[in-house]
Structure 1
Amino acid sequence: MRCGTGCARSSASRSSTSRSWSAAPWTTSRARPASAEPVIRSAAAHLLPAALIRFGRRHPKMTVDVRVVPDLGRGIAGEVLDGRADVGMVTLPVRLPGLVTRELFTEPYVLVHPAGHPDPRALPMIAWHENCSTQTRRRLAAQDWIPPGDMTVQDDSVVLSMIGHGLGAAIVPRLTVAGAGGKVAFADLGADAPMRRVGSVTTPETAASAVVRDLIADLASVRPSFSGSGSRGDSPMKARGAIHP
């Protein structure tokens, strides 16, 4: 199982240096005067609008271009390092050298399954084909109740659609389930569930920009709200225990 990211780009006015930023996992944005940012799809959908409203009030002449970029391999961090985005929202840690990161929030992984299914553990597992931390990969691989993935899907919205049609279950970050609708439910993986760390990534040069610092500060000021998002089912951990190290 892998996790995913996205990106966005914005740029400053013509009288200033062009700047961009990216975030993980799946979208990018361009501002004119512009700044670019790649971002994680779930973060883009549920957190980015509020952050951009705040950013726009401080920088009304800025426009932001948001793009969806899969966080595979070098992913969003590679977009930033190669100069195609100024800031990115990514799954931490970032393994490419020469970048500056800041943790924005953490979220647990959960088991998503068709709503009302009596035994989610018996369903085929749908693998989400995106980056995740080594620790998360190791902890999930150690769980003997998780079967090998029968299908691998890159886009999280497709994963949720497949689950809603009864094709299987998946382990995804909690924010992915927000607003998923009544066809899917999720179950906690216990107190020791793996966590995804989501953060911003930029270069040292771009991090010195006041515009980029404001953008990252606005991202950090928005916290995900998990209450009331998605539908909580009975935990499949009750019979066999929770995630173990």
Structure 2
Amino acid sequence: MLDLTRLRTFRAVLASGSVNGAAANLGYTPSAVSQQLHALQRETGLELLERRGRGLVPTTIGRRFAAEAEALLEQATRLECLAADLRGGRTGSLVITHIASVGASWIPAVAATLSREFPDLRLDLRLWELTQGAGSDTDVEIAVDLPGTDSEKIRDGYDTEELLTEPYVVVLPAGHRLASRTEVPLKELYGEAWVDNDIARGACRRILLDACAAQGFTPIFQLETQDYGAAVAFVEAGAGITVMPRLSYSSVRADPGKVAVATLVEPTPERTIVVRTRRTGAGSPAIARLLELLRAKVAGQRPKQAVNSAAPGRVRA
């Protein structure tokens, strides 16, 4: 069993580049740091560091070891925080993974309400596009449903509720030939200069590309960004068009004088936003309240003050 203190000391030496620097940062003596490093190398049987000039640098093996140790230390820190919360009688923490558009549109108000009503609750918010549901420590996941993929299989132990099915919209420069339309057939975007906006080329992009493929073409992405707001800014500048789910567009502060927005039709690409909750947390008042707040956001209604854990919603086990 690896000693976590030695791992943290090793990481501190790498970050500071010297034993003395790590000792100053950690509040140890240099000899204590050196002893921790020697003990870790004996413990692992690996040569993790080598001297270069007056400093220390990781060996090739050390760099690989450090990368794996980082994930272990993050998990250990979360476990230590949880233990501290439980010892202090606090509610604990809630890990919420969410898609970017929900993070911009819904999560700030939802998180503020939860923090106010559950002051001892620690919220750990993460971007779903960067994990694609791969994390095993998520309590609540607000994601894009893509039936028939492995994303459903890795969510065993969770209940799934559909929140919203929404269309995609095309964002056009104000002077574009299609700018006066409220609906635009997808095939009319063939040959246009597209601005990509998907942070991870994940589920949302796949839905769009599949719809284009059904019409017999592939979008020409002349500019690629990883942010909805940046993509709309390019459109405002006249660099091309961009396509995104309706909620994603509503999360962006676009200049209505510079862009026009139309719903895509024939076909209408759609994405379904779902919320997945860990079954072991089914009795949590905080999770029940979170679900109520999300349903209220979807309905466009102001959330009620009372918690109603039996609020309606279609749930899949």
TM-score for the superposition, normalised by structure 1: 0.66
Q: CA deviation at 1:159?
A: 1.4
Q: CA deviation at 1:215?
A: 1.7
- Greater relative contact order, per chain length (Cα 8 Å cut-off, separation 6+): 1
- Greater share of residues in helix: 2
Q: CA deviation at 1:47?
A: 1.5
Aligned residue pairs total 199
Residue 96 of structure 1 is matched in structure 2 by 153
Q: CA deviation at 1:175?
A: 1.4
Alpha-carbon separation, structure 1, partners of 2:83 and 2:110: 17
Q: What is the CA deviation profile of residues 63-93 of structure 1, one whole-angstrom value per residue up to 9, with x for unaligned ones?
A: 423333435xxx34112xx21x321211113
Q: What is the CA deviation profile of residues 121-149 of structure 1, one whole-angstrom value per residue up to 9, with x for unaligned ones?
A: 45301233332266654223222476432
Cα root mean square deviation, aligned: 3.5
Contact in 1 for aligned 2:163/2:273 (Cα 8 Å):
yes
Contact in 1 for aligned 2:209/2:218 (Cα 8 Å):
no
- The answer as to 2:296 corresponding to 1:221 is yes
Residue 42 of structure 1 is matched in structure 2 by 101
- The answer as to 2:239 corresponding to 1:148 is no
Q: Which moved more, 1:121-130 or 1:102-111?
A: 121-130
Q: CA deviation at 1:167?
A: 1.4
- Decide which structure has the larger Cα Rg and report it: 2
Q: What is the CA deviation profile of residues 184-213 of structure 1, one whole-angstrom value per residue up to 9, with x for unaligned ones?
A: 221111374121111112333234533223
**Equivalent residue in structure 2 for 1:127, among 169, 173, 196:** 196
Alpha-carbon separation, structure 1, partners of 2:266 and 2:291: 30
Q: What is the CA deviation profile of residues 2-35 of structure 1, one whole-angstrom value per residue up to 9, with x for unaligned ones?
A: xxxxxxx9979823899xxxxxxxxxxxx98432
Contact in 2 for aligned 1:126/1:168 (Cα 8 Å):
yes
Contact in 2 for aligned 1:46/1:224 (Cα 8 Å):
no
In structure 2, stretches of 5+ residues that fail to align are: 1-77, 180-188, 301-317
Cα gap change, 1:142 to 1:16, in 2 (>3 Å):
farther
SS in 2 for 1:14: helix
SS in 2 for 1:37: strand
TM-score for the superposition, normalised by structure 2: 0.53
